[in-house]
Amino acid sequence: MSYQSGPAPLFHSDRSLDHWLSPELSAISPANARSRLREIAGARGAYMGAWAAGIGIGGILVLLGVVLAVRLGTFATVAALSLPGAAVAVFCGVFYVRVRDRLPRTSRALVNRGPGSMRGAFSFVGFILVVFIALLGFTAKPSTWQDPGALLTLATILVFMVALLVVGIIVPATIMGRSRESLRRKAATDPRFRALLEQDLATWRDPIGDAGYGPL
């Protein structure tokens, strides 16, 4: 892992954590310049986004099981979908809290093939929905638009598709896009998390050169 540094970089221990966390330093630093704090924020945001998506998907499974149980008149879908969905949501929720309150393992390579910001996520989701609705409009039979039951089924499918896109793409992209602000806020409001950063600041050394601990 390499780091970019400006001319005559200062050794990170010569500056306090507040200095590296300051929005002013971030504002005057190149947006793509690497630092230890940005690496932590990016990894933390990626993990939080992934677990948050899992929580949302679990919740959707719970709701889908209930809706199908009402539509089909059987509780089999609750056992098949809602119970596993609740388990997934609880499992992901536990790990979401863990990664939110701990420093991530930045040595692992995190690959994100989706949008990295809320704006990009909305554009991507909008494109998918436009394509899906267009295909539905061209392939549906004329009688489908006159059948209330078929229209209700299509509307239900569309709602759950939108929900999946929101929790699977928009939510994690938004969390990742705000990862730096989230880390700064967490350090300001959680003394235990701030202590972890202080300890990391005292022990971390740039493995390549003499890059600073920040900016964030």
Taking only the tens of pLDDT, the chain with its 216 residues reads 444 444 444 444 578 999 999 999 999 988 888 889 999 999 999 999 999 999 999 999 999 999 999 888 888 989 999 999 999 999 999 999 999 999 998 776 566 666 777 888 888 888 888 888 888 778 777 777 777 877 888 888 889 999 999 999 999 999 999 999 999 999 999 999 999 999 999 988 877 766 678 899
- Output b/e per residue, 188-203; b: 16+ Cβ within 10 A: eeeeebbebbeeebee
pLDDT number for residue 113: 64
Q: For residues 205 and 75, is the Cβ–Cβ distance under 8 A?
A: no
What pLDDT does 98 receive? 95
pLDDT at 9: 42
Side-chain half-sphere exposure of 93, counting CA atoms within 13 A: 11
- Alpha-carbon Rg for the chain, nearest whole angstrom, is 23
Instruction: State pTM to two decimals.
Output: 0.84
| pLDDT at site 110 | 62
pLDDT confidence of residue 150: 77
Q: Which alpha helices (H) appear in 166-216, and where do they start and end? A: 171-177, 179-189, 191-203
pLDDT of residue 111: 62
Residue 12 identity: H
**Distance (Å) of CA 207 to CA 101, 103, 214:** 25, 18, 15
Q: What is the pLDDT of residue 181?
A: 95
